[in-house]
Structure 1
Amino acid sequence: MNGDEPSGDSLIFTRVTTLWAAHRGEPFPDGLRWIDAPSGDPVPALDFYAAGCVNAYLAGQGVLDPRRHLILTECATDLEAILPALTGRDATYVARLIRMAELITQPPPCPGTISLSADPLA
């Protein structure tokens, strides 16, 4: 990197910020209100927990404490399990939550190899 290029971390933070703005602009889909994940947690609760973690990540300027990291990882795992059964707006809403969780919890690839432009939720 030449110093003028953003780091992978700043690209991830920007992407999460963009996804979060889109997510906050949508009401919770009615079709998700009565679905439970394999863990037994209802999807509205998973949405609430994940939202709190994303808010903490954004408020921390890209830093998430270990407890919230674990919560967000577990929420994403539960949401991934139900995603194949969802369609339309329900699927889009859940996929966006999963994508934010992935971006926040997974370490970025080596510098110079990150590419968020191919993100299907762009």
Structure 2
Amino acid sequence: MPITSQSSLRATTAGILLTLIRAIQSLVAGGEWGGATLMSMEHSSKKTKGFGASLSVAGGPAGALVATFVLGIVASLPEKQFLSWCWRMPILASTIVVLVALYLLYQVSESPEFLAAE
């Protein structure tokens, strides 16, 4: 985000883009959440269906805690380092999480309950 000493048009545009990107992120997360919960539950055994479904529900808050922890570590570095390059490290590290998530997404098979219902 631009600082206030930069042009107001640039700061306004950055604010609008940030808001738009966060809205898109929220819509995508909301759309995936229900399906992830259902798949977790359907792939669990009869005894652990509730626990299986709760894992995907706990994923969002757990991710927020991890992100806060990582930002706390990075932000504890000297201000000059943080502003010049360190703030990029958590973003680059998140690409690993995205790649793992995409791999898992493409490896998940249809649930046994769905196949039985067909």
- Name the TM tier (shorter chain): 0.3 to 0.5
Higher fraction of helix: 2
Normalised to the residue count of structure 1, the TM-score between the two structures is 0.34
Normalised to the residue count of structure 2, the TM-score between the two structures is 0.34
Higher relative contact order (CA 8 A, sep 6+): 1
